[in-house]
């Protein structure tokens, strides 16, 4: 029995375990927070995954629904010792227009088993239909068109207004315009306040001029605005929070507000009555012309401004044609358009055509009347706009006198003087000059690499030559100085050698030759010693040289005495005393040694 | 020394030796022009230009052929390039004046210059002439100094001569610098009407001004297929390369028309 009891207990535990394991099998569920809302509302879809999923879920695309992944949360629970894991994926859905939508089944593989959610249907109503009172709508957007039925080329104005009673922190506009329309956004938004149902709203208005360029029925998409704002209806958990001081009371909230879409019908322009030169203007227009001068000389420029203005856009208007033949040259400037929006009158357009007219012949130049066809939307018919530019009196070039006012009678009898050629302007021929012959084409006019190489080579060689010359010059200069130094060093030795010759002459009784030789030795010594030419040195020159070299006056006096003694011996009538000559030669020896010593010091 | 002289002679005249090989083609271009096959003549000249031949007369002949082929804008551009290579050529000057008269926009074809820039020899001398006008006096100046250093004879005279020759070389030297680094590439408008935009993109760019065929301009910059152009009055803007003809040294843009007309 005890065994049976044990087996029963084991069976129960096994059954419980099986039940528990069955209960923890994977599951996939999808849930939408509400089944009905407006285009301004956000729908939150929560996808709960229990178990181990194979990858991340992929939300299917739904037309006209914007899907944003809002976040993921996880939870782990242990029940009866068994751990289970749940992941919740949140998606925020925003509808761009009203209708009934279906979120299709989302399939995933969980715990190796294919699972899928059930499809969910939800309904989206137009903006403002969800709540009756504006009190509960602190933020909404609306769009309006100035006309619901227009012709091709006729302008209409799209106005988008954002009403708010909350503090907006950030806004991301999504203002779309239909294809097939030219859009000109009017710079600068309008800001004002408006009271609706007793509630004061701050209004921001964005205007744009739309010009349809093809016929048909167009859906103008609703304007959308993603807003981050302070929601005062949801106060912060902690009263008196620091954040209140920064952003005011309330929590930050995000919302996407959308206006309903609109429809505009664009009618084609009637073919009846439309000429080939139809200007493309649609609306109601007037025109005028301004001429800079009514009297000019041939060749001078007259500026003509043709201004077309009125109700309607003028950007697509074709340029008016000025046909003046050979009488004048016409140069057109780029037309200037200025379209603006006036709340009372609608779109106001102005287009200015600036034209430079240069008369080539003297006489009366009749620019005439411009006939501009436009489509009048008020009458529904084509009309002609006439702009009278008038006439210009053209004088011959060189005539300086001012033209008198022209009366109709004068105009009949106006005989222009013959045009005198301007001597300063040489007439050009009718064609270009002939091409150059092929032999003129061979030479290169542009600086070639060969030029650069040749020039650089020449300069380089010249520099080398100059450097070489400079070096040679330096060496020569240095060599000369070295020679002088060498001579100076050897001057005494040379002189002493020569003195031996002088003494030999004295011994051979040739006193005069010996004395002459002694004088020559002094000259040569001084010349060699001081690097000067010694040939023509006189006593005075020798004295000056010694003085210049800084020798003392005693030495100079000694030299003078020796020189005079030598002179006396040289020019004596009687034969000179040999002993005295020997003494004088000794004095010469002594003098040279003294000079040498002084110079050495 | 003889070898050195031979080397310099070969270097100096090698450009001309090479250029003479094209004379045969130029004769063919001349024949094509005489027979009224202007596009064929233009093609031969363009090929020569693309091979690197920079002779003012080639651009001049190209301009004449293009004009005869009905491409006035490209003709203006070719003549402007010819003028930059040989500013003193009276034929080029004449044709440019003729084309200026024909163009719708009477724009100045000279860049605005300061008073000292008007003295530049680049107004009447080509780059090669300027280069050799600088090099030859400079070389003579060096030789003069070298001679006096080598021989020691007439130092005062030869040093003075050297200094004078050096100063003589400065003028063409500065003019050459002006011609090489300050002279912009010129071009002309080839389309009938060309919008010049504020930035090199069609999207969101504002039209600053409009030019017509034959209007000359200087090229300031390039971004892809777009060129930043400047008029002689200082106005600048961006224009797409397909509406322009530029035969400049730095910038080149030319698209031959698809249709070929044999006479004007």
Q: Which residues are registered as beta bridge partners of B186?
A: B218
Q: Which residues contact B121 (CB under 8 A, 6 or more apart)?
A: B130, B133, B171, B172, B175
The backbone torsions φ and ψ at residue A131, rounded to the nearest 5 degrees and listed phi first, read -125, 135
Cβ distance of B22 and A442 shorter than 8 Å? yes
Contacts of A464 in chain B (CB under 8 A): none
Q: What is the pLDDT of residue B247?
A: 92
Q: What is the pLDDT of residue A338?
A: 81
d(CA A502, CA A506): 6
The backbone torsions φ and ψ at residue B78, rounded to the nearest 5 degrees and listed phi first, read -65, -40
> Tokens 């271009």 — which residue?
B29
Contacts of A463 in chain B (CB under 8 A): 142
Cβ distance of B94 and A433 shorter than 8 Å? yes
Cβ distance of B139 and A458 shorter than 8 Å? yes
Q: A462: distance to nearest CA of chain B, Å?
A: 6
Angle at A351 between CA A349 and CA A357, to 5 degrees: 165
Angle at A595 between CA A590 and CA A600, to 5 degrees: 125
Cβ distance of A441 and B98 shorter than 8 Å? no
Spatial CA neighbour of A255 closest among A362, A390, A139: A139
Contacts of A432 in chain B (CB under 8 A): 63-64, 67-68, 75, 95, 98-99
Residue of A436, A437, A468, A472 to mutate, testing the B interface (most B Cβ within 10 Å of its Cβ): A436
Put the strands of the sheet holding A224-231 in their side by side order. Answer: A167-174, A224-231, A251-258
d(CA A133, CA A249): 23
Q: Which residues contact A493 (CB under 8 A, 6 or more apart)?
A: none
SS3 content of chain B, % helix, strand, coil (to 5): 55, 15, 30
Cα A94 to its chain centre, rounded Å, is 42
Closest Cβ opposite residue A463 in set B58, B104, B142: B142
Residue of A nearest to B58 (CA): A441
Spatial CA neighbour of A559 closest among A569, A575, A545: A545
Cβ distance of B14 and A450 shorter than 8 Å? yes
List, for residues A39-98, the tens digit of each pLDDT value. Answer: 777 888 999 888 888 788 888 889 888 888 888 888 877 766 667 788 889 898 888 778
d(CA A384, CA A376): 9
pLDDT (average), residues A566-595: 79
Residue of B nearest to A461 (CA): B139
C-alpha distances out from residue A272 to A312, A316, A381, A512, A527, Å: 21, 21, 9, 147, 126
Beta pairing class for A149-151 and A262-267? parallel
**pLDDT higher at A93 or A399:** A93
Query: Which residue intervals of B69-125 are DSSP H helices?
Result: 72-85, 90-102
List, for residues A526-569, the tens digit of each pLDDT value. Answer: 888 887 777 777 888 888 888 887 888 888 888 888 888 888 88
Beta pairing class for B216-223 and A65-79? unpaired
Q: Which residues contact B237 (CB under 8 A, 6 or more apart)?
A: B196, B197, B198, B208, B209, B228, B229
Q: What is the pLDDT of residue A574?
A: 57
A positions 235-254 inside 8 Å of B (CB):
none
C-alpha distances out from residue B195 to A64, B236, B247, B255, Å: 41, 12, 21, 18
Q: Are A372 and A308 within 8 A, CB to CB?
A: yes
Spatial CA neighbour of A295 closest among A414, A418, A388: A414
Contacts of B94 in chain A (CB under 8 A): 428, 433
Q: Are B84 and B57 within 8 A, CB to CB?
A: no
Does residue A347 carry a pLDDT above 70?
A: yes
Q: Are A525 and A492 within 8 A, CB to CB?
A: yes
Closest Cβ opposite residue A466 in set B14, B20, B146: B146
A72 touches chain B (CB under 8 A): no
Does residue A172 carry a pLDDT above 80?
A: yes
Lowest average pLDDT, out of A23-32, A346-355, B165-174, B209-218, goes to A23-32
Residue of A446, A452, A476 to mutate, testing the B interface (most B Cβ within 10 Å of its Cβ): A446
3-state secondary structure of B64: helix
Closest Cβ opposite residue A445 in set B86, B94, B104: B86
Residue of B58, B151, B158 to mutate, testing the A interface (most A Cβ within 10 Å of its Cβ): B58
Spell out a b/e string for A186-206, using b for 16 or more CB atoms within 10 Å of the CB, else e: beeeeeeeeeeeeeebebbeb
Q: B201: distance to nearest CA of chain A, Å?
A: 20
Cβ distance of B131 and A447 shorter than 8 Å? yes
Cβ distance of A433 and B86 shorter than 8 Å? no
3-state secondary structure of B260: coil
Contacts of B127 in chain A (CB under 8 A): 445-447
Does residue A310 carry a pLDDT above 80?
A: yes
Lowest average pLDDT, out of A41-45, A81-85, A303-307, A504-508, goes to A81-85
Q: What is the pLDDT of residue B229?
A: 93
Cβ distance of B128 and A444 shorter than 8 Å? yes
Spell out a b/e string for A409-444, using b for 16 or more CB atoms within 10 Å of the CB, else e: eeeeeeeeeebeeeeeeeeeeeebeebbebebbbbb
Closest Cβ opposite residue B33 in set A435, A444, A447: A435
Closest Cβ opposite residue B143 in set A331, A439, A462: A462
Confidence of residue A418 (pLDDT cuts 50, 70, 90): very low
List, for residues A185-222, the tens digit of each pLDDT value. Answer: 877 778 888 888 788 888 888 888 888 888 888 888 88
Confidence of residue A269 (pLDDT cuts 50, 70, 90): confident
Task: Answer yes or no: is the ipTM higher than 0.85.
Answer: no
Lowest average pLDDT, out of A266-270, A408-412, A425-429, B198-202, goes to A408-412
Spell out a b/e string for A123-133, using b for 16 or more CB atoms within 10 Å of the CB, else e: ebbbbbebeee
Q: A562: distance to nearest CA of chain B, Å?
A: 41
The backbone torsions φ and ψ at residue A127, rounded to the nearest 5 degrees and listed phi first, read -65, 140
Put the strands of the sheet holding A27-32 in their side by side order. Answer: A27-32, A42-50, A82-95, A65-79
Confidence of residue A249 (pLDDT cuts 50, 70, 90): low
Residue of B32, B78, B135 to mutate, testing the A interface (most A Cβ within 10 Å of its Cβ): B135
Does residue A160 carry a pLDDT above 70?
A: yes
Contacts of A461 in chain B (CB under 8 A): 4
For each of chain B's 264 residues, which pLDDT tens digit applies?
Answer: 444 445 454 445 444 444 444 556 888 888 888 888 888 999 999 988 888 888 899 999 999 999 999 899 999 999 999 998 888 888 998 999 889 888 888 888 888 777 777 788 888 888 888 999 999 999 999 999 999 888 888 888 989 999 999 999 999 999 888 888 778 899 999 999 898 888 887 766 778 888 999 999 999 999 888 999 999 888 889 999 999 999 988 899 898 775 444 333
Cβ distance of B8 and A432 shorter than 8 Å? no
First to last CA, chain A: 147
Residue of A nearest to B134 (CA): A455
Q: A323: distance to nearest CA of chain B, Å?
A: 16
A76 touches chain B (CB under 8 A): no
Q: Are A365 and A324 within 8 A, CB to CB?
A: yes
Closest Cβ opposite residue B19 in set A437, A442, A473: A442
SS3 content of chain A, % helix, strand, coil (to 5): 30, 40, 35
d(CA A126, CA A40): 8
Q: B224: distance to nearest CA of chain A, Å?
A: 27
Contacts of B104 in chain A (CB under 8 A): 331
Q: What is the pLDDT of residue A23?
A: 45
Spatial CA neighbour of A225 closest among A156, A148, A169: A169
Would you give the DSSP letter of residue A372? E
Contacts of B152 in chain A (CB under 8 A): 473, 476
Would you give the DSSP letter of residue A544? H
Contacts of A475 in chain B (CB under 8 A): none
Contacts of A435 in chain B (CB under 8 A): 30, 33, 60-61, 64-65
Does residue A344 carry a pLDDT above 90?
A: no
Interface contacts A/B by beta carbons within 8 Å? 148
Cβ distance of A455 and B135 shorter than 8 Å? yes
Q: Are A343 and A321 within 8 A, CB to CB?
A: no
Whether this model's pTM surpasses 0.80: no
Residue of A nearest to B101 (CA): A428
Q: Are A425 and B2 within 8 A, CB to CB?
A: no
Q: Are A272 and A381 within 8 A, CB to CB?
A: no
Contacts of B126 in chain A (CB under 8 A): 445-446
A positions 457-476 inside 8 Å of B (CB):
457-459, 461-463, 465-466, 468-470, 472-473, 476
A424 touches chain B (CB under 8 A): no
């Amino acid at each position: 029995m005890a065994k049976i009891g044990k087996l029963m207990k084991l069976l129960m535990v096994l059954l419980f375990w099986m039940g528990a394991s069955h209960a923890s099998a994977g599951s996939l569920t999808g849930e939408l927070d509400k089944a009905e809302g407006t285009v301004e509302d956000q729908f939150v879809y929560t996808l709960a995954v229990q178990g181990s999923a194979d990858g991340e879920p992929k939300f299917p695309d739904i037309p006209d629904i914007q899907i944003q992944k809002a976040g993921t949360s996880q939870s782990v629970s242990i029940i009866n010792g068994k751990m289970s894991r749940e992941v919740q994926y949140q998606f925020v859905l925003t509808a761009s227009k009203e209708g009934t939508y279906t979120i299709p089944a989302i399939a995933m593989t969980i715990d190796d088993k294919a699972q899928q959610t059930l499809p969910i249907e939800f309904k989206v109503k137009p903006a403002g239909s969800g709540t009756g009172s504006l009190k509960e709508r602190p933020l909404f957007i609306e769009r309006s068109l100035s006309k619901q039925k227009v012709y091709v080329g006729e302008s209409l104005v799209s106005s988008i207004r954002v009403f708010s009673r909350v503090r907006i922190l950030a806004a991301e506009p999504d203002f779309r315009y239909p294809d097939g329309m030219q859009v000109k956004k009017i710079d600068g938004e309008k800001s004002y306040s408006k009271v609706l149902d007793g509630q004061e709203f701050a209004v921001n208005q964005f205007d744009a001029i739309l010009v349809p360029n093809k016929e048909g029925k167009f859906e103008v998409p609703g304007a959308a605005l993603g807003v981050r704002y302070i929601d005062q209806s949801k106060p912060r958990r902690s009263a008196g929070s620091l954040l209140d001081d920064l952003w005011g009371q309330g929590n930050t909230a995000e919302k996407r507000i959308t206006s309903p879409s609109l429809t505009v019908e664009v009618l084609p322009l009637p073919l009846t009555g439309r000429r080939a030169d139809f200007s493309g203007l649609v609306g109601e227009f007037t025109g005028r012309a301004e001429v800079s001068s009514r009297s000019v000389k041939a060749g001078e420029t007259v500026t003509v401004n043709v201004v077309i203005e009125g109700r309607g856009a003028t950007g697509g208007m074709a340029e008016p044609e000025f046909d003046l033949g050979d009488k004048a040259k016409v140069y057109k400037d780029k037309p200037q358009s200025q379209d603006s929006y006036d709340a009372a009158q609608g779109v106001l357009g102005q287009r200015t055509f600036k034209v430079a007219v240069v008369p080539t012949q003297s006489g009366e130049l009749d620019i005439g009347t411009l006939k501009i066809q436009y489509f009048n939307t008020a009458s529904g018919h084509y009309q002609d706009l006439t702009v009278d530019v008038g006439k210009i009196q053209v004088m011959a070039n060189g005539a300086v006198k001012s033209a008198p006012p022209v009366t109709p009678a004068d105009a009949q009898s106006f005989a222009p003087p013959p045009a005198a050629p301007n001597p300063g302007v040489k007439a050009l021929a009718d064609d270009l000059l002939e091409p150059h012959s092929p032999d003129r084409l061979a030479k290169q006019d542009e600086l070639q690499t060969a030029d650069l190489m040749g020039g650089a080579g020449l300069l380089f060689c010249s520099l080398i030559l100059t450097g070489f010359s400079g070096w040679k010059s330096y060496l020569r200069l240095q060599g000369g100085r070295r020679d002088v130094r060498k001579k100076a060093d050897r001057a005494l030795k040379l002189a002493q050698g020569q003195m031996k010759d002088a003494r030999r002459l004295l011994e051979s009784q040739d006193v005069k030759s010996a004395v002459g030789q002694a004088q020559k030795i002094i000259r040569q010594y001084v010349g060699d010693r001081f690097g000067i030419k010694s040939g023509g040195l006189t006593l005075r020159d020798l004295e000056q040289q010694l003085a210049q070299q800084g020798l003392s006056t005693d030495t100079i006096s000694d030299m003078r005495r020796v020189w005079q003694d030598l002179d006396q011996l040289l020019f004596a009538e009687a034969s000179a005393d040999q002993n005295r000559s020997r003494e004088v030669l000794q004095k010469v020896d002594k003098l040279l040694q003294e000079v040498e010593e002084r110079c050495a010091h | 020394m003889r070898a050195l002289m031979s080397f310099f002679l070969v270097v100096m005249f090698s450009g001309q030796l090479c250029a003479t090989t094209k004379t045969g083609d130029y004769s063919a271009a001349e024949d094509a022009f005489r027979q009224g096959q202007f596009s064929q003549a233009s093609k031969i000249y363009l090929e020569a230009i693309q091979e690197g031949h920079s002779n003012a007369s080639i651009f001049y002949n190209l301009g004449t052929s293009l004009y005869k082929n009905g491409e006035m804008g490209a003709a203006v551009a070719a003549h402007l390039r010819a003028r930059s290579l040989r500013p003193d050529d009276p034929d080029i000057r004449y044709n440019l004046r003729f084309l200026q008269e024909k163009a719708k926009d009477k724009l100045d074809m000279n860049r605005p210059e300061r008073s000292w820039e008007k003295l530049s020899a680049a107004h009447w001398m080509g780059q090669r002439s300027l280069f050799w006008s600088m090099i030859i006096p400079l070389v003579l100046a060096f030789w003069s100094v070298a001679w006096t250093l080598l021989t020691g004879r007439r130092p005062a005279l030869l040093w003075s001569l050297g200094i004078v020759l050096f100063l003589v070389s400065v003028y063409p030297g500065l003019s050459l610098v002006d011609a090489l680094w300050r002279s912009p590439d010129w071009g002309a408008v080839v389309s009938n009407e060309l919008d010049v935009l504020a930035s090199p993109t069609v999207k969101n760019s504002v039209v600053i001004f409009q030019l017509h065929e034959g209007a000359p301009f200087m090229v300031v910059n390039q971004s892809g297929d777009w060129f930043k152009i400047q008029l002689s009055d200082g106005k600048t803007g961006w224009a797409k390369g397909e509406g322009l003809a530029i035969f400049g040294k730095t910038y080149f843009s030319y698209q031959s028309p698809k249709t070929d007309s044999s006479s004007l």
